[in-house]
Amino acid sequence: MCFDGASNSLGHGIGAILVSPDGNYYPFIARLNFFCTNNIAEYEACIMGLRAAIERNIKILEVYGDSALVVYQIRGEWEVRDPKLIKYSDLVAELIKEFKEITFHYFPREENQLADALATLASMFKASKEAEIMPLKMSIYEVPAHCCSIEKEADGRPWFHDILEYIKNQKYPEQANENDKRIIRRMAAGFVLDGDILYKRGKDQVLLRCVDAVETRKILEDVH
């Protein structure tokens, strides 16, 4: 679990992410509409993440945060001197009892980017209590959107022609610049050539045959 809090002129927000052993991410985000310091926001974020883990019956948890003060106070290495943080520290101590095994680790802010982004978003975004905000889903695009068009290119070749040529013959288009070549190489890593047939490797490692516009229309006609 990663957590972070953010306090700025626009407000206070917290973010936490649970990451499963198989790499699935479960983000949590909240805006704090009460007086809050940076350290209070950090504790609130940590508690939100711990409660989310408890609700999901997680018993073994590694916790990461970029607040040295909060992490080392929870670990008992630093004394809690601020009266405003004592009750937070006590609450975390109670929540920890719900776990069979739990560890707390400090790591730099640059390694905690997702939790930091969630907390910052919550601090800047104002919503009424009645508003229902759906979770955000972020995708990562490795290539430009136009690269996966199923239509034929201007020269009548299928959209995957350049990838096929690179995989078969290590050749680039005549007018390709260095950036174009880099994109083709990156895209080619996600394809498999079997004889003369090119396949796209899916996230689940299932191979999908690449077809041009004519073949696509024929397949759709056969289906209907």
pLDDT in tens, 132-143: 555 555 555 555
219 Cβ contact partners less than 8 Å away, ≥ 6 residues apart? 211
Same domain, 171 and 216: yes
pLDDT in tens, 68-103: 999 999 999 999 999 999 999 999 999 999 999 999
Same domain, 150 and 120: no
Of 18-27, 116-125, 133-142, 155-164, where does mean pLDDT reach its minimum?
133-142
Assigned domain for 130 exists = no
Same domain, 108 and 152: no
Q: Does pTM top 0.75 for this prediction? A: no
Same domain, 22 and 117: yes
Assigned domain for 140 exists = no
Same domain, 45 and 154: no
Burial letters 63-93, b for 16+ CB under 10 A, else e: bbbbbebbbebbeeeeebeeeebeebbeebe
Same domain, 20 and 106: yes
Structural domain including 187 reads 145-223
Domain count, the chain: 2
- Arithmetic mean of pLDDT, 34-45: 90
Same domain, 13 and 120: yes
- Arithmetic mean of pLDDT, 186-199: 82
Tokens found for residue 115: 């939790």
The answer to whether 124 touches 13, Cβ cutoff 8 Å, is yes
Q: What is the pLDDT of residue 133?
A: 59
Same domain, 45 and 110: yes
User: What single string gives the DSSP state of each residue in the chain?
Assistant: -EEEEEEETTEEEEEEEEE-TTS-EEEEEEEE-S---HHHHHHHHHHHHHHHHHHTT--EEEEEES-HHHHHHHTTSS----HHHHHHHHHHHHHHTT-SEEEEEE--GGG-HHHHHHHHHHHH----TT---PPP-----SS-GGGG--S--TTS--TTHHHHHHHHH----TT--HHHHHHHHHHHTTEEEETTEEEEEPTTS-EEE---HHHHHHHHHHH-
Same domain, 61 and 157: no
- What order of strands is seen across the sheet that includes strand 2-8? 25-32, 11-19, 2-8, 60-65, 101-106
Same domain, 118 and 178: no
Same domain, 92 and 17: yes
Same domain, 7 and 118: yes
